[in-house]
Structure 1
Amino acid sequence: MILYILAIIAGFVILVWSADKFVSGAASVAKHLGMPSLLIGILIVGFGTSAPEMVVSAIAAMEGNPALALGNALGSNIVNIALILGVTAIVAPISVKSKIVRKEIPLLLLIVLLAGYMLVDNALTFNEGIVLIIGFFSLIGWSIFAAIKGKGDALEAEMDNELIEHKMSLRAGVIWLIIGLVMLIASSRLLVWGAVGVATEFGVSDLIIGLTIVALGTSLPELAASIIAARKGEHDIAIGNVVGSNMFNILAVIGIATLIAPMNNIALEVLQRDWLVMLVLTIALLIMTYRFKNQDGKITRIKGIFLVVAYVAYNTYLAMSLSGNL
């Protein structure tokens, strides 16, 4: 048991470090190759912050633990909105100015609804995995189009500042990109091994482990990035990281895992509990950031506290259901 716990801790630490290096290296290489800052912000950073979920879920599916992969994706989306945006807003209220980010939030809601439709029959088939991956590549295409058309968007200026602060040579960028990717895969294997071991020892389902421990751990890069960005006044990067990551989690993370190991007999709780919570949080995010006549679309500290309380309530419900009190 101690060995499994140490594996999870070590996996998390290396995962966070390697994800940061992977994103920094990828962003630097993209900049040297002439990719616009706005596209780097939308595509590279969004993809990079979801890299832990992608690798962990793919490995879990390959090793015969698809429920862990599904729990990781859904749980990470819940963590991203409720905990990460909640804590970030408490530290520094988030004001969304980017038109691109505002368009991404309703798009995220549509993707969440698509996932719910697929889960109605308590299964995810190979064909549905293909649909999700097609959706993922369509999202990439839309991101490229939005970046080209969105010249002068608020997100572009924030991303320019970030790239200047983390400027490195092309050679250094390539090296860190490779090292980050290799360590990302290695730490993910270690994390999955430890998580499955703990689940077996305690008799807890892979789904619950994925929804809680693994989801929280793989979302740590988003937490660090969002808090740092918000404190620096880069609000659109802070919320853009979360929204982009959530879209990638559903389309790419669940899509890849489903292609590797299609899922049958998915627990009813996934749709009735976990997906529903994700849906409610996504709708709450849309409402919080929408600019009504008398509101500026800012996620205030009060709203941040509400989100964190929602996250605590959800995990308390999970704990109570495990203890048999529900």
Structure 2
Amino acid sequence: MSIFILFVYVIITCIIIWRASDGFETAASYLGRNLTDGVKGATINAVASSMPELLTTFFFLFYLGDEDGFSGGIGTTAGSAIFNGMIIPAAVIFVVIFTGLAKNIHVSRKVFIRDGISLIIAEIILIVMIGGNQLTWVHGAILMMVYAIYATYTLYTMKKSTRDQIADYHLEIQKLPFIKSVLSLNLSSMFLGNKKINKNNAWALLITSTSIIALACLLLVHSIEQMGHHFGVPIMFLAIILASAASSVPDTILSMRDAKKGNYDDAVSNALGSNIFDISFALGLPLFLYTEITNTIAQYLWKIVDFISIKWR
């Protein structure tokens, strides 16, 4: 397969992930409509926009297996963390200030403290884990527990402050002809059309969007693997550059939308919350399932680095 075709595949997967993630975000926003600003960005928006990272890491580990797959997962989440930490804030500032929406961006101190400290803790735990000799399902469970604690604390503090206040939910869907919706992959228009969104069609939209994202992520992993063989480049390096960029498009678009609406807390907490989700759950769940199902042990960072150096020679 020519390298040009592989790059075309990567571009196509990027577009599919972007369009399908719009439908996922629409459904997730409805299902989490009673969450306040900041909390919604850190939980619902972060999970919705980070679903590509989770699925990409999942396919890297199960499709490639062991060190090669785990290094691809590390590359995807690490590259996404860099992308979220640098590109998304810059995009938010550009959208708000340079388009004249506002002169300053005010973000809640609580968001910075809560999400910033949680991200640092998650990173420290991951570094400690990959400093050992081997990975087991226990380590995957610990990583998932980190996100569970973070999400529980975030929701608990929201409930204390909102005191059962229920937010009104207004949804604007661009209604298109069905054929045009299919060709443009506008899942929200395909599923909702002139109908009012409810729990049933929201879940149907969520499941369909996830399935389409999964297929796109599988094609992305396959394309990156073939590129690695073609160029003789370690999968981890390509994952840091290509997989992370392709899977981080929804994060960027979602944060820019929130910024345009004036939801600066959601815009920032989405970027930070996505990183926490990537480090803990997007790595933890595939690692937990892989080591539990296959009864194998994935090697840690020192083995991965040695593995990469051997392939690079």
Q: Which stretch has the larger CA shift, 240-249 or 127-136?
A: 127-136
| Farther-moved stretch of structure 1 (10-19 vs 93-102) | 93-102
- Quote the residue 1:246 is aligned against: 275
- Report what 1:81 is aligned to: 85
- Give yes or no for contact 2:42–2:274 (8 Å, CA) kept in 1: no
Residue 131 (structure 1) aligns with:
142
Task: Work out whether 1:224 is the aligned partner of 2:253.
Answer: yes
Report the Cα distance in structure 1 between the residues aligned to 2:218 and 2:206, rounded to whole angstroms: 19
The unaligned stretches of length 5 or more in structure 2 are: 97-103, 174-195, 292-296, 306-310
8 A contact 1:24–1:166 mirrored in 2 = no
Counterpart in the other structure of 1:202: 231
| Distance of 1:126 and 1:323 partners within structure 2 | 29
Cα distance in 1 for residues equivalent to 2:21 and 2:143: 24
Q: Does 1:67 align with 2:102?
A: no
State whether residues 30 and 202 of structure 2, in contact with CA within 8 Å, keep that contact through their aligned partners in structure 1: yes
2-structure distance, mates of 1:235, 1:249: 21
Question: Per the alignment, in what secondary structure is the counterpart of residue 95 of structure 1?
Answer: coil
Contact 1:29 1:173 in 2 (8 A): yes
**Paired AA for residue 197 in structure 2:** S
> Number of aligned pairs?
264
Q: Identity percentage over the alignment? A: 20
Question: Equivalents in 2 of 1:216, 1:123: separation in Å?
Answer: 29
Mark the CA change 1:36 to 1:323 in structure 2 (over 3 Å): closer, same or farther.
closer
Cα offset for 1:27?
Answer: 2.0
CA gap of 1:219–1:112, structure 2 versus 1, over 3 A, is: same
Inter-partner Cα distance in structure 1 for 2:234 and 2:312: 13
Q: Are 1:7 and 1:190, in contact at CA under 8 Å, matched by a contact in 2? A: yes
Describe the SS at the equivalent of 2:301: coil
Secondary structure at the aligned position of 2:132 is classed as: coil
Partner Cα distance (1:101, 1:184) in 2 = 30
Q: Does 2:130 match 1:119?
A: yes
Map Cα deviations across residues 270-289 of structure 1 (whole Å, 9 max, x no partner): 7xxxxxxxxxxxxxxxxxxx
State the AA in 1 paired with 2:301.
I
Query: CA 1:265/1:236 → structure 2, altered by over 3 Å: closer, same or farther?
Result: closer
TM-fit CA distance, 1:165: 4.2
The alignment status of 1:173 with 2:212, answered yes or no, reads no
Q: Deviations over 1:87-144 (max 9, x none)?
A: 3224435421262453221121111111111122365433211211122222222222
Secondary structure of 2:14's aligned partner: helix
Letter in structure 2 aligned against 1:85: P
> Is this contact kept in 2: 1:7–1:193, CA < 8 A?
no
- Tell me how far 1:258 sits from its aligned partner: 2.0
Q: How far did 1:7 drift?
A: 1.9
CA contact (8 A) 2:20 2:212 kept: yes
Alignment gaps of 5+ in structure 1:
271-321
Measured at CA, do residues 223 and 268 of structure 1 come closer, stay the same or move farther in structure 2, by a change above 3 Å?
farther
Partner of 1:4: 6
In structure 2, the partner of 1:184 is 213
TM-score (norm 2): 0.75
The residue type equivalent to 2:124 in the other structure is: L
> Relative to structure 2, which stretch is displaced further, 37-46 or 251-260?
37-46
- CA distance in 2: counterparts of 1:265 and 1:17, whole angstroms: 35
Structure-to-structure mapping, 1:293-308, within 5 angstroms: none
**Aligned counterparts of 2:42 and 2:88: Cα–Cα separation in 1:** 18
- State the 1:223 CA deviation: 0.9
Q: 1:232 to 1:268 in 2, by over 3 A?
A: farther
Q: Is the 8 A contact 2:54 2:278 kept in 1?
A: yes
User: How many angstroms apart in 1 are the aligned matches of 2:172 and 2:228?
Assistant: 39
1:265 & 1:129 partners in 2: Cα distance? 13
Consecutive aligned runs of 4 or more in structure 1 exceeding 6 Å deviation: none
Counterpart AA for 1:134: M
Instruction: Please tell me whether Structure 1 or Structure 2 has the larger radius of gyration of its CA atoms.
Output: 2
**Aligned with residue 264 of structure 1, among 299, 304, 308:** 299
| Residues 268 and 239 of structure 1, relative CA distance in 2, 3 Å threshold | farther
